[in-house]
Amino acid sequence: MALVGLGGSLFWIIESTTWDEVDTELTGVAQAITSTIHPPRRSSGGRRPPPPTPIPRTYRRRIDNGELYYLIWDRDQNIVEKVNTEQKFVYPKDRESIQTDTPFKIQKEIEREIIIRGPRARLILVGRNIEKEKKALDQLKFNIISIGVGILTLGLLGGWWISRRVTRPIDSMSQTAEEISGFQFDQRIETKTAGPELARLGKVLNAAFDRLEQALHQQTQFTADASHELRTPLSVILTQVESSLKRVRTEEEYQQTLEACQRAALRMNALVNDLLMLARSDVKQLQLQKQEVDLKELILEVLQLLEPLIQEKNAKIDFDSDSLRIEIDPKRFLQVLTNLVQNALIHNPEGLSIKIYLTQLESSAKITVSDDGVGIPDEERSKIFDRFQRVDQARNRKTGGSGLGLAITKSIVEAHGGEIACLPHAPKGTTFEVSVPSIKNNTE
């Protein structure tokens, strides 16, 4: 629109200037002709009117060339003089408005004329052919329109190109994002070709995709591990039953088959319970039945529970502590402590010693379980709280562990608002530290 306006006004200015020039010229000629007319003779004396002056030579020549034409009417509307034209002219209707200084302008098809008032109420019309000017103006109009169209096209193309440049990275981002939402997680947004702002956005999105991919991978891995753990006892049941049904068996054989099936079913049951518990803790639905408990009593209970295993492993237990009262879910915490001590017993050779102590800190209680056993390699230590993570893949099978023990331990501690850490124990072995916030005045 602005372009059309600009072109229009430019044209209008040039056009009016052109006609103004023509009019000025014509007016000059008309005035020169006026001065050739004799003024009226005044009967009542007075000054003598100035003598008529001849038309200047430049105008004279143009009139002689036929470039200009003119016409003079007297006050009775008769044509007194008509030079260089054969046209028919009509006497202007509004005679009074025509003055000496302000010419009356007439625009015809190919001529432009002006009329001024001369002495003795004569009207002088001067005109000339303006085909040349019209042609020039038409040419100008054409040029302006062409340039306008050119600029417009260029603008549109440029705009399209710029917008393409801007939107291409966005398009590619959306495309990548769509592909990723279709579970093609190996795709990433190309950040090299985008502008700096978009590149930053792309990097942020890529980082988010990385985390998403990792989370999804962990989820997939967890599901695969869980189904693997369930399949093993399931295959025991199926194979035992199928083998048993192949022919008639003795009572003793049936008994053995049923016992094997029972063991497998119990294992599946334990695993399903563990999985359910983790699922609940994942959605923060782990119900805690908190009450005030003496941690010392709880640990003594754990040691009593594990007494057969302690004896079997010929382990030395070092535990001597004052009472430490704290508000926790005793059943869940029994599981935490049993898990830690049992792990130390299972994963270490006979004759190990386990040291347990309680520390009252300013706002929390700390339980430390250390052993002087084989220890856990640094690279494994960060992963031991992961689900189905085992330092030795099969060592747990004999003990019935599912590989979820420490993951569950951690989720219980965290449900209590506490923390658990695994540290190397000097000079050898492993230390687990559990800290739980203590709200009340715990010491006796």
Partner 1 sequence: MRILIVEDEPDLIDALSRTLREEGYAVDTAEDGEEGLYKAKTWDYDAILLDIMLPKLDGLGLLEELRKSKATPVLLLTARDTVDDRVQGLDSGADDYLVKPFELSELLARLRALIRRSTGTASPQINIGEVTIDTASKSILKEGEEVNLTAREYALVEMLALNRGKLVTRTTLYEHLFDENEDSLSNLMDVYVSNVRKKLGKDFITTKRGQGYLISV
Burial of 195-230, coded b for 16+ CB within 10 Å and e otherwise, reads eeebbebbeebbeebeeebeeeeeeeebeebbeebb
Say how many residues touch partner 1, by CB under 8 A. 28
Q: Closer to partner 1 at the Cβ: 244 or 353? A: 244
329-334 long-range contacts (CB < 8 A, ≥24 apart) are 329/288, 329/289, 329/290, 329/291, 329/412, 329/416, 330/291, 330/293, 330/298, 331/289, 332/286, 332/288, 332/412, 332/415, 332/416, 333/293, 333/298, 333/412, 333/416, 334/298, 334/301, 334/302
Quote the CA–CA distance of 135 and 130 in Å, as a whole number: 9
Using the rule CB under 8 A, give the single segment among 66-74, 176-184, 221-229, 339-347 that binds partner 1.
221-229
Q: Binder to partner 1 among 120, 135, 164, 231 (CB under 8 A)? A: 231
| Upstream peptide bond of 233 is cis (omega within 30 degrees of 0) | no
Helix (H, G, I), strand (E, B) or coil at 377: coil
Q: Binder to partner 1 among 143, 227, 399, 443 (CB under 8 A)? A: 227
Is there binding between residue 263 and partner 1 (CB under 8 A)?
yes
Is there binding between residue 236 and partner 1 (CB under 8 A)?
yes
Q: Closer to partner 1 at the Cβ: 123 or 268? A: 268
Is there binding between residue 228 and partner 1 (CB under 8 A)?
yes
Q: Closer to partner 1 at the Cβ: 242 or 378? A: 242
For residue 134, give both structure tokens: 């019209």
Q: Closer to partner 1 at the Cβ: 88 or 246? A: 246
Q: Closer to partner 1 at the Cβ: 47 or 246? A: 246
Q: Closer to partner 1 at the Cβ: 319 or 388? A: 388
Is there binding between residue 346 and partner 1 (CB under 8 A)?
no
Q: CB of residue 224 vs partner 1: minimum separation in angstroms?
A: 7
For residue 4, give both structure tokens: 């059309």
Is there binding between residue 257 and partner 1 (CB under 8 A)?
yes
Is there binding between residue 218 and partner 1 (CB under 8 A)?
no
- CA 181 to the chain's CA centroid: 15
Quote the CA–CA distance of 15 and 356 in Å, as a whole number: 105
Return the closest-CA partner of residue 432 out of 334, 326, 340, 320: 340
Q: CB of residue 226 vs partner 1: minimum separation in angstroms?
A: 11
* Vertex 434 angle, CA 336 and 354, to 5°: 75
Quote the CA–CA distance of 385 and 404 in Å, as a whole number: 8
Footprint (CB under 8 A) of partner 1, residues 378-407: 392-395, 397
Q: Closer to partner 1 at the Cβ: 242 or 379? A: 242
198, 203, 236 from 169: Cα distances, Å: 7, 12, 56
Site string for partner 1, 167-206 (x = CB under 8 A): ----------------------------------------
Is there binding between residue 247 and partner 1 (CB under 8 A)?
yes
Q: Closer to partner 1 at the Cβ: 149 or 245? A: 245
Using the rule CB under 8 A, give the single segment among 101-109, 127-135, 222-230, 317-325 that binds partner 1.
222-230
Q: Closer to partner 1 at the Cβ: 240 or 435? A: 240
Q: CB of residue 232 vs partner 1: minimum separation in angstroms?
A: 5
Is there binding between residue 234 and partner 1 (CB under 8 A)?
yes
Q: Closer to partner 1 at the Cβ: 41 or 246? A: 246
Contacts of 437 by beta carbon, 8 Å cutoff, 6+ apart = 363, 364, 416, 417, 418
Q: Closer to partner 1 at the Cβ: 167 or 232? A: 232
Q: CB of residue 234 vs partner 1: minimum separation in angstroms?
A: 5
Burial of 137-171, coded b for 16+ CB within 10 Å and e otherwise, reads beeeeeebeeebeeeeeeeeeeeeeeeeeeeebee
Is there binding between residue 219 and partner 1 (CB under 8 A)?
no
Return the closest-CA partner of residue 402 out of 217, 267, 218, 266: 267
CB atoms within 10 A of CB 31: 18
Is there binding between residue 224 and partner 1 (CB under 8 A)?
yes
Identify whether the C-beta of residue 85 lies closer than 8 Å to the C-beta of residue 69.
Answer: yes
Using the rule CB under 8 A, give the single segment among 257-265, 346-354, 357-365, 373-381 that binds partner 1.
257-265
Q: Binder to partner 1 among 184, 243, 269, 323 (CB under 8 A)? A: 243
Q: Closer to partner 1 at the Cβ: 243 or 291? A: 243
Task: Write phi, then psi, for 195 (nearest 5 degrees).
Answer: -65, 170
Q: Binder to partner 1 among 238, 258, 266, 276 (CB under 8 A)? A: 238
Fill in the amino acid letter for 120. R
Q: Which residues make up the interface to partner 1 (CB under 8 A)?
A: 224, 227-229, 231-232, 234-240, 242-244, 246-247, 256-257, 260, 263-264, 392-395, 397
